[in-house]
C-alpha cells in the first residue's frame, strides 16, 4: 500500500505577514524507511513564533527553510514503520518533523514521549521547547531570585504562561502583559499572577509603574516594540532583561523598532541578554524533569489551543501574530 504524504512547502519568502501564496500544498508518495530511519504519522504540529524567522533569508541561529522545502516545525506523532532499533511501531515520538502528514526521518532525530503521562500536545508546550525556554530563560539567563518582581510579556502564551508560573513557584511577584480581558482574567484567576496588564486597553508604562512600585527585577520579553520600551522605563537597579523573542516585529516590512529606552540599562546598571533554547540541549532533561514534576502536581497549569486539519496551517499560523490563540497553539492532524 502506497502512502501519500501531504505537505506544506515554502513557496516564497513572505513580505510582512505570511499569506496563502507563500505556501504550496502538495502530495507526494512516501517511501519505505531506509536503514536507521523511522516513518512517523504526524498527529500534532507545533505552531511557534520562531517559525516566522525560519522563513526569512537572514543570517540567524539556523539556516532558513529553503524555497520549495517542507516547512520546518516541531511535531509529535506515532511510528508507522521503523528500521531503527530504538523505535517500534506504535511508539509515540516528538521531533522536528515538519508541516506534513508524515515524516521519514533518522531515528536519532526523535524523542520518545508517553501519552499516558500527559496529553500529546503537552510535549509541544510545557514539556517541550516552550517550557524549556521558559525554564532556562527565567532561571539561568534572568537569574530570578525569591522576592523579585518579575514581568513577562506574551504572558498567556506558550512560553510566557510557564515563565510566570515558574517565577511564582520560585517566590517572585509576577505581573503579566497580555492582549485582551480574557487572557488577563486567565492570568489572574487561573495562574494566580499578582497583576495582569491588558496592552490593548492600558498604557503599559503607567500600569507597570503602578504594579511594580520598586521596579522590575526580571523582565522576560517575548514581544519587543513598545512593550519592551515600557518595561525598560520601569527597571529596578541591577535588573535582568531576557530577550526571548519579538513577535511584534517579525512581520515588519520596516526596520525593527529598537528599544529607545535602552539607556535605562545604564541608569539602572541593568543587562539585556538574548537566549536560545538550543544552547540548553545538554541540560534539556533537567528542565523537563522539573517541569513534569510541577505539571503532575498541578502546580503548573497549561492550556492548548487546538486547530484541526493540516490544511488549516496557514490560517492557524497567522493566529500567533494577531494574538488570537489562547495558550499553546497546535495543529491536530488526526483524532
> Where along the sequence are the contacts to a copy of itself (CB under 8 A)?
59-61, 224, 229, 243-246, 249, 255-276, 279
Alpha carbon distance 42, 154 (integer Å): 28
Dihedral of alpha carbons 190, 191, 197, 201, sign = negative
Asked whether 137 and 161 are in contact (CB, 8 A), the reply is no
Distance CA 43, CA 127 (A): 17
> What's the burial of 263, exposed, middle or buried (CB within 10 Å: 0-12/13-18/19+)?
exposed
Cell numbers placing 294: 510541577
CA pair distance 32, 242, nearest whole angstrom:
44
| Residue 152 vs 330, nearer CB to a copy of itself | 152
CB of 46 to a copy of itself, least distance (A): 19
Residue from 225, 217, 283, 215 nearest 250 by CA: 225
**Closer by beta carbon to a copy of itself, 45 or else 277:** 277
Q: Residue 3: phi, psi to the nearest 5?
A: -85, 145
CB of 243 to a copy of itself, least distance (A): 5
> What's the burial of 234, exposed, middle or buried (CB within 10 Å: 0-12/13-18/19+)?
buried
Cβ closer to a copy of itself: 40 or 242? 242
For a copy of itself, give the closer residue by CB, 43 or 151: 151
Amino acid at each position: 500500500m502506497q502512502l501519500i504524504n501531504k505537505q506544506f512547502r515554502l513557496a516564497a519568502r513572505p513580505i510582512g505577514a505570511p499569506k496563502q501564496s507563500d505556501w504550496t500544498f502538495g502530495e507526494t508518495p512516501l517511501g519505505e524507511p531506509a536503514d536507521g530511519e523511522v516513518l512517523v504519522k504526524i498527529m500534532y504540529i507545533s505552531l511557534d513564533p520562531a517559525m516566522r524567522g525560519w522563513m526569512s533569508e537572514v543570517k540567524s541561529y539556523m539556516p532558513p527553510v529553503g524555497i520549495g522545502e517542507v516547512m520546518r516545525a516541531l511535531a509529535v506523532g506515532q511510528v508507522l514503520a521503523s528500521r531503527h532499533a530504538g523505535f517500534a511501531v506504535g511508539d509515540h515520538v516528538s521531533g522536528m518533523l515538519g508541516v506534513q502528514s508524515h515524516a521519514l526521518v533518522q531515528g536519532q532525530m526523535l524523542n520518545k514521549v508517553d501519552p499516558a503521562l500527559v496529553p500529546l500536545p503537552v510535549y509541544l508546550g510545557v514539556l517541550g521547547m516552550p517550557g524549556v525556554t521558559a525554564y532556562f530563560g527565567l532561571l539561568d539567563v534572568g537569574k530570578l531570585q525569591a522576592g523579585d518582581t518579575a514581568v513577562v510579556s506574551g504572558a498567556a502564551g506558550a512560553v510566557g504562561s510557564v515563565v510566570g508560573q515558574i517565577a511564582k513557584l520560585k517566590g517572585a511577584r509576577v505581573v503579566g502583559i497580555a492582549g485582551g480581558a480574557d487572557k488577563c482574567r486567565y492570568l489572574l484567576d487561573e495562574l494566580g499572577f499578582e497583576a495582569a496588564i491588558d496592552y490593548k486597553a492600558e498604557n503599559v508604562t503607567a500600569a507597570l509603574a503602578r504594579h511594580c512600585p520598586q521596579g522590575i527585577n526580571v523582565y522576560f520579553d517575548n514581544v519587543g516594540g513598545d512593550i519592551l520600551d515600557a518595561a525598560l522605563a520601569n527597571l529596578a537597579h541591577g535588573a535582568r532583561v531576557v530577550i526571548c523573542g519579538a513577535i511584534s516585529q517579525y512581520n515588519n516590512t520596516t526596520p525593527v523598532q529598537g528599544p529607545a529606552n535602552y539607556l535605562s540599562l545604564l541608569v539602572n546598571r541593568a543587562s539585556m541578554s538574548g537566549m536560545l533554547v538550543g544552547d540548553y540541549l545538554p541540560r534539556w532533561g533537567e528542565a523537563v524533569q522539573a517541569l513534569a514534576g510541577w505539571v503532575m502536581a498541578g502546580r503548573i497549569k497549561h492550556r492548548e489551543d487546538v486547530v484541526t486539519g493540516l490544511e488549516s496551517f496557514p490560517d492557524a499560523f497567522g493566529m500567533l501574530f494577531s494574538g488570537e490563540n489562547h495558550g499553546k497553539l497546535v495543529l491536530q492532524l488526526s483524532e
